[in-house]
Each structure stands twice: as C-alpha cells, then as structure tokens.
Structure 1
Amino acid sequence: MKGSRPWLAVLLLSAVLVRAAAVLVLQSHHVPRSTYEHGEIAASLVAGRGFAMHFLGVDGPTSQQAPVYPLVVAAAYALGGVERPRSLLILELGQAFLGGLMVLGVFRLATWAAPERPAVAWSAAWIAALHPTLVYAATHVQVALLAATLVVWTFVWAVRAGASGSNGDAIIAGLLLALCALTDPILGLVAPGLFAVLALSRTEASASRSSWSLGAVVVMVAALGVTPWIARNAFVHGEFVPIKSTFGYAFWQGNCAISEGTDKVVRASVEGVMDGAKDAGSLAAYNRTVWEARHTAGYIDDVAFTAEDRRYLETLSEPERSRVLLRRAIADIRKDALRYVGLCVRRFRYFWLFDETNPRSRVFIYRASHLGLTGLSLLGLATAGATLRRRSAPMLATVGAISLFHALTIVSARFHIPIEPLMAIWAGAGLVRTLDFAWGRLPGRSVAAAGGLEHVGVVGRLG
C-alpha cells in the first residue's frame, strides 16, 4: 500500500481542489438569503441569544434544527462576521476539505467491500470526488455534505471496530453514530446497518469479542452522546423532544391538502426565472438565477396558512405546533387516502429521479450525473461478486430505509446526497465492469487482460 499513497494524495487533493474551484467559480457566498434556518440559528448563537430563531411566528429557543451544523455555521460567523460573504467563503472552503475527507472514507469502505478488486475502490473514490451533486454540495450552507461524510465514516469505523474487536474503535463508532443523529435524526437509520457491518467485518483477531458486545458499546456511547441535547430540549420545551421538534411540521408540509409531496410550492413564475438562466453570461450568474428561482418557488407555509392559523400557532409551544400540524396532515390523508398513496409514489420517483418542484434538479448536469450514478450503481450491484454483494447488504438496507422514509414523509433533492457516497461504491464496481467489457472488445485485448491491468498497469500501481 505504500506505493499507492502518493496516488491517494493526488485523489484527495483533486477532490478538495474541484470543490474549492466550484466555490470560487459559482460565488454562492455572495448569494443573498442562502443560509436559511442554519444561518439564523448561528447568528443567534454568535449574538449570545442561544440556539434560537423565529419559527412559525414565534421568536425563542428552538429545536427546529439538529445542533451540529448550526454550530459549524456559527463558528464560521465568529471568524468572518454574521452572514458576511467572507464567513460563508470560510465555511464553503472548509466544506471543500470535508469533501476530501468524505472521499477518503469512500476509498476505505470500498476497499473493505471489494478487497479482491482494488480498481473498484479507486473508481468509487474518483466518482465520489467528481460527482457533480457532491461537488455542488460544498457550495451550499446545507447539512447534506456533512451528513454524507458522517454516514461514510460511521460505516468505516464499524468495519474497523468489527475487525479489531477493540472497545476504543467501538466507542468512536458510537460517537460517529451520535453525530449522525445530532446532524440529522433521519441518519439514525444508519444504526441497523452499522451493527450488521460489525458482524460482517469480524476477523480472527476479533473473534474473542462478540458483535453483540461491540454493538452494546456503540449503543451506549451513542445514547450518551445525544443525551445532553435531549436534556437541553426537555429544559427548553418542558417535555421530551428527540433531537428535533419538527417531524409533524415536515410531515404536514409533505402531505397537506395542497402539497406536491415536498416543502415547496409549484409556481408558474419559476419557469420564467429559469428561462432567464439561458442568457446568463457566466456560471456565477447562472447559479444566482437558479437561486432566484428557488426563492421564487417559496415554501408551502407561504400559501397554506391563513392569518387565523398563524395567530393560533403562535399561542402554542414549538412541539405542540408540530403535533397540531401532524394531526391536520393525518386528517387530510383520511379524507383522501389514495392521494397520500399517490404522493408516496411521487416522492419515491422524485428521490430516485428528479424533484420537479426544485429548480436545481432541472439543470441538465444534475439530471445527467444523477442518472449516471444510479445506472452505474445498479450495474455494479447486478454484476458484483459474492463478497461485494454480501458486504454491501447493510449499506443497501440503509439506502433503502432512508429512501422509504422520505417516500412516506417528505422529499427534497438534498435528501439524496447522504446516500450518494455509498452509491459511489457500487458505481465504482459498475464502472470497472464497463471498462472490463470495453477492453475485452478491443482488438488484441481480452477481459482477462483488462483484469491483469490491476496488477501490472496503472491501476495496479494505485492498488
């Protein structure tokens, strides 16, 4: 592996540089109103008002967002000023480095998943390094890239804990699982897959420790990790709130009577804004136009609430507001259950194809790369060897659980990003299979010769 380290450094540096270039070219740090709830909470933290924001008509302490990412944004604000372009540039360039860390995690996880094919790990890592939506995520004040990185490294450390049987590695895996939940509670769905990976990665060195005992350490540490935030929520709201208070609110956004299955509104005016993108003179101008279209679309909240609704919600606690909206959504579903089934099918389609309510998913490069990643992933899974298929099962189950959750509740294009590094592993296998086929059809070449490339050619030097 020593000979591969310079090539790995090149790969990781490329991942960082392509993201930094996207940040500098697209100039998203100059786009107004681009920080949403994370920025508002971060500004409150820097001002000394605590974890608070204006939400559904009320100012005050909130659990509208999980704590980790707003704290990251607050750190950038402390360095560069609240909502100043300099602070957003610091944040986005930091996310470029985070992208490199994510790619390293993909490489390590793919190496474990396909140990007999080093080319799969290299292909997967390059896909994760260059995949447009994973690159574009670095240019946003958005939790998705951090979530994707944590998901990958939680699995990486589960492999390490299973192989070593070490309490120390199990503790780190538990801390990463806690960070996943404190970044986005939906990422708690990683837990079952993590435990399966613990069992699959056991070796002779770890045979003295059962996967159950290691899993117990992970669970205990993860529970301890989220406890301080849950205790804070109980103190602030006077009741148990499991990390975020807004499940009912989000479910209402995705399922109320006028919802299209997402949190956004379908407006004809968006089309006019997107038509103007064709005349943008630069990528930065094009990006600003897409942002303008996103703001034009707005949220369900903008049109669904009457003045009476707003006055009523302002009288309730934050958790109770969410429960009221959940009951309203359930009432709408009971009135027309078939519509809810249709929304679930639509959300599943939006998740795996394109969210038609999101202007960003209408961009050609998004659609082409999204379909390319999915197609290569399916090819990789269909043609994978027994080891890759068996070791991919926990990750595949995690991807399925996350996609099902969003199909049943609410969906957005950004919700797909946390699973894309895992898909890159299968896409790497699909790319290697495609190259094997291509080399096999060239005169004087064969699939066997292509396989030999891993040992005597460029790929072999990398492996």
Structure 2
Amino acid sequence: MKFWVSWSGKTKLWTVFLIAMSVRLAFILPKGNNIAVPYRDQNTYYELGRALVDDGFLGVPSNPEVGPYFEYRQNNPPPMGKIPEIRLKMIERWDAEKRLYGIIEWGAPSSFFEPLYPLFSAGCYKLFGDRFLFWRLLLAVMSSATCLLVFSIGRRLFSEGVGYTAALICAFYPYFVFYTVFLMSETFIIFFLALSVYYFVRLREKPGWRYGILFGAALGLLFLTRSIVLGLIPFLIVMLLIESPRRFILPSIIALVFFSLTISPWVIRNYRLHGEFVLLSTRGGYNIWLRNNPYYYEDELKLLGVDVPQSILDNIENREFLDYPEFTPEQDEIERNRILTTEGVKFIKANPYLFTYLCWMRFKTIIGVQGTLSRGLIYKVVGLLSFGIILPLGLIAFILYYKRWRDTVPLMLIFIYFVGVYSLTHDGLRYRLPADPYLIILASILISSTVNFVYSKYFGNDSQ
C-alpha cells in the first residue's frame, strides 16, 4: 500500500482508468465483432442507427429485416413454446402492419425512442459498419471515464480514499463491464448521470453561472438518453435550494434554462413532426400495456423466477385490455400511445391487487433478490456482490453519517428514484444500474474507513 500512497494524484487516476479499460477489454476482445446474446434491445438500437444513416430519420428503417441481428434470429429460432403464444401472434400482426410494436411505422420518423444513443449508434454504423468491436471500445472508454467521475464525486463529497475506493469498485463492477459488451444505452445513461452529479457537486462548491450551465447541459444530455429521469431534476434543484436559497436560486434558474436549451432541438423536432408538444418519448403507453399483462411477457417473468399466482390471474378484471388494441390506419403513434395509456390506467385501477403484486416483483428484481438467485452460479455471485454487500453497506453508511445529510441524501435520493420509478414500470436489475455508483460511493465510506483503520493499526499511520 505504501507505493500507492507515494503516487501522485494523476498517476492514481490514470491507474484507475487503465485498470477499468483492461477489465473491459478482457471481456470485449474475445467477443470481437460477434453479437452478444440475448440481444434484447441491441437489435432495435442497431436499426435506429441504420435508419439515421441510410434513411435520414430517427425511426425504424424502411426494411428492418436485414442485418446481423435479424440473421441470428432467423438462424437461431427460439424453441417451440418458449415465447408466449400471445406475443407470437402480436409480432406476426405487427410485422404484417409494418409497425414496430404496432405503433412505429416502418420507414417513417418516430418519437418512440430518445435520440442520443441512436445518434451514437448511427455514428458507429457510419464509421465502422457491423464491426461491433469498435462500438464496444467506445463504450469501454465511456465506462472507464465514468469511474473517474465517480472518484471525483466521492473525493469532493467525502475524502480521497472514498473516491478511489468507489472508482476501483466501479472499475471491476461486473454489471458495468457487462454492458460495454451489450450494445445498449445503459453505459450512456450511467455516464451522463455521473456527469450530471459531478456538475451538481461542483455547483454546490462554486455557485455561479459556469457550473449552472454545465449542470443544466449535462441534465439535458441525460434526458435525451432516458427521458424518465425528468422527475429526478426537481429533487436535485430542491436539494440546492434547501442548502441555501440565496446562493442557489440564480444558478438553479441558469441550470434549468440550459437544460431547456439542450433538449430544445428534440422538442422542436417532435413538434414539427407531430404538430403538438411532445416532451417524453411515445412508448409510455406500450410499457404500461406490456408490464401489466402477465401473459404477454410470461417467459421473462419465469426467467426471473416470478410465477403470478393463479388466484390473481383468475380474478383479473377488464380482460379486454389483455388484447392489444385494434388501431385504425389513420391513428398515428401519438394517438396510439394515448389509447394505450388511457386503457392501461383503467386496467390498473380495475386490478390493484395484480398491479401491487407486479410492482413488488419488479422491486425485487430491480434490487436483485429476485431473478439473480434463480440463475447459474455466476449470476448468484454477482448478484450477492450487488445486493448482498454494496446495498447493505450503502444503507448502513447512509444511516451512520446522518449528520452529513447534505452530502448523503442526494446520492440516496438518486438510488431511491430509480428503484421506485422502475418498480412501477419495468423489471430487471439493469434499470437500477445508473444509480449504483452512488450506492457504491456510500458503501465506500465504510470500506475506506475500515481499510484505513486496519492499515494504520498494523502497518503504520501513513495511509490515505
């Protein structure tokens, strides 16, 4: 440990970055240009990028049934009975209508997906084509840079030791490494959330126009990656104002102005496309239908170890909601989204017990206690690292350091927000990952303190 203490700050940071890159390269290089399975949303993001390059718009390309993901699906069809019959019928119907999910028209622009990650996919597709190794290398750089942001957040809020501990944990954190192999938006949202929190911390240190601008712009980029974070922004602004209304009122206004400016091209584009104000993506209604229909994604629930009790299924009201609406050709994606949202809310109100049960199951899968333990040994070990070590240590640190609430509450608030919001809408641990760095920082308070105590007791008093 003495050699680490003797190194300069820049040397330590470069070491953390290189360690993170090395770990990610160890997973990326063997994969090469091959697709990662199960590919889930990877195919969709690939098609969105291809549409931007080949067709010149953000949406589903005029011919989505090409490319490596489509070829893989054709050559490796799922076993009979694995996919629920209702989903097979829906996919067949949607393909016949030439609409993704029955909402997004093939060969036409759409507002179903936020634009930032598809723009990244488009750039990679333009530069590298289907050589996915280069796509992954860029994600690895971004993921490794996130470790440096985590270091800076931990150092500025607590101590250098906490910052380095958190950064090193993030460098090896299996889930962060995993999503540099899978070409989805997780690495993007983790990075831009970390960038937003970093500038939030800097704004607290130096209230003024500069960090107000950077904080607002970072929040805008975060929103353009995953619009569900919109509800988090007021909480962060309130935390600033609670600390000192006089010092932070003007920087908060500046941040909100530059947030609005950053997302304005997206909002203007949507208004010109749809003829009305569209801030959020248009997939909310589809998600409500999908995530409250236990028959449509029955296979995913079983993979997570969730088996909805028959007593609940037998008492479902408004069963017509379980059938996907029959839209007319004149209804655009805005109208279809409204119909799905309205009908979905009616279904939830008619089935509060089912909704509560599904929310509880989603909560457990997001935390990690449901799903990871029902899989193989590697999943169990990784899951235990997350909810068995990091989660309890983070919660303990949050309680023990209650006097530092100005520093700890924003971090825990981010974690609670992601877990709470996605418990209502999605299942799976991936939706919690953007908040994990802040739980890791809290856990690192205890880890760093323990390491320093042991080192000073047995090896001297020169640890950091």
Alpha-carbon distance in structure 2 between the residues aligned to 1:420 and 1:41: 28
Give per-residue Cα distances to partners, 1:223-251, cap 9 Å, x unaligned: 11112111111221222211311111112
- Name 2:12's counterpart in structure 1: 7
Give per-residue Cα distances to partners, 1:320-365, cap 9 Å, x unaligned: 2122222232232233211111112221111112453997998234
Alpha-carbon distance in structure 2 between the residues aligned to 1:419 and 1:131: 13
- Name 2:331's counterpart in structure 1: 316
Residues 414 and 429 of structure 1: is their aligned pair in 2 closer, same or farther, counting only changes over 3 Å? Answer: same
Deviation at residue 383 of structure 1 after TM alignment: 3.3
- Name 2:444's counterpart in structure 1: 428
Question: Does the CA contact (< 8 Å) of 1:200 and 1:391 recur in 2?
Answer: no
- Name 2:255's counterpart in structure 1: 218
Q: How many residues align?
A: 399
Residues 162 and 361 of structure 1: is their aligned pair in 2 closer, same or farther, counting only changes over 3 Å? Answer: farther
Q: Aligned to 1:42, which of 19, 36, 49? A: 49
- Name 1:258's counterpart in structure 2: 295
Residues 237 and 265 of structure 1: is their aligned pair in 2 closer, same or farther, counting only changes over 3 Å? Answer: farther
Deviation at residue 257 of structure 1 after TM alignment: 5.3
Q: Aligned to 2:394, which of 362, 377, 384? A: 377
Residues 394 and 193 of structure 1: is their aligned pair in 2 closer, same or farther, counting only changes over 3 Å? Answer: farther
Tell me whether 1:108 sits opposite 2:115 in the alignment: no
Deviation at residue 200 of structure 1 after TM alignment: 7.9
Contiguous gaps of at least 5 residues in structure 1: 272-303, 440-444
Deviation at residue 6 of structure 1 after TM alignment: 0.7
Alpha-carbon distance in structure 1 between the residues aligned to 2:29 and 2:256: 41
Alpha-carbon distance in structure 1 between the residues aligned to 2:126 and 2:157: 41
Residues 393 and 348 of structure 1: is their aligned pair in 2 closer, same or farther, counting only changes over 3 Å? Answer: same
Question: Does the CA contact (< 8 Å) of 1:373 and 1:424 recur in 2?
Answer: yes
- Name 1:449's counterpart in structure 2: 457
Deviates more, 1:6-15 or 1:157-166: 157-166
Alpha-carbon distance in structure 1 between the residues aligned to 2:425 and 2:280: 18
Tell me whether 1:165 sits opposite 2:207 in the alignment: yes
Residues 195 and 330 of structure 1: is their aligned pair in 2 closer, same or farther, counting only changes over 3 Å? Answer: closer
TM-score (norm 2): 0.78
Give per-residue Cα distances to partners, 1:195-239, cap 9 Å, x unaligned: 25645888xxxx9x7201000000011011112111111221222
Alpha-carbon distance in structure 1 between the residues aligned to 2:240 and 2:300: 44
Give per-residue Cα distances to partners, 1:90-124, cap 9 Å, x unaligned: 11110111012101110011012213xx3211111
- Name 1:342's counterpart in structure 2: 357
Alpha-carbon distance in structure 1 between the residues aligned to 2:239 and 2:302: 47
Residues 25 and 386 of structure 1: is their aligned pair in 2 closer, same or farther, counting only changes over 3 Å? Answer: farther
Give per-residue Cα distances to partners, 1:52-89, cap 9 Å, x unaligned: 114234322111110000000110000111xx1x1x21
Question: Does the CA contact (< 8 Å) of 1:182 and 1:243 recur in 2?
Answer: no
Contiguous gaps of at least 5 residues in structure 2: 1-5, 61-98, 306-320
Give per-residue Cα distances to partners, 1:256-303, cap 9 Å, x unaligned: 3536xxx663487999xxxxxxxxxxxxxxxxxxxxxxxxxxxxxxxx
- Name 2:35's counterpart in structure 1: 30
TM-score (norm 1): 0.78
- Name 1:398's counterpart in structure 2: 414
After superposition, the CA RMSD in angstroms is: 3.1
- Name 1:147's counterpart in structure 2: 189
- Name 1:285's counterpart in structure 2: none
Alpha-carbon distance in structure 2 between the residues aligned to 1:324 and 1:384: 47
Alpha-carbon distance in structure 2 between the residues aligned to 1:173 and 1:199: 15
- Name 1:56's counterpart in structure 2: 101
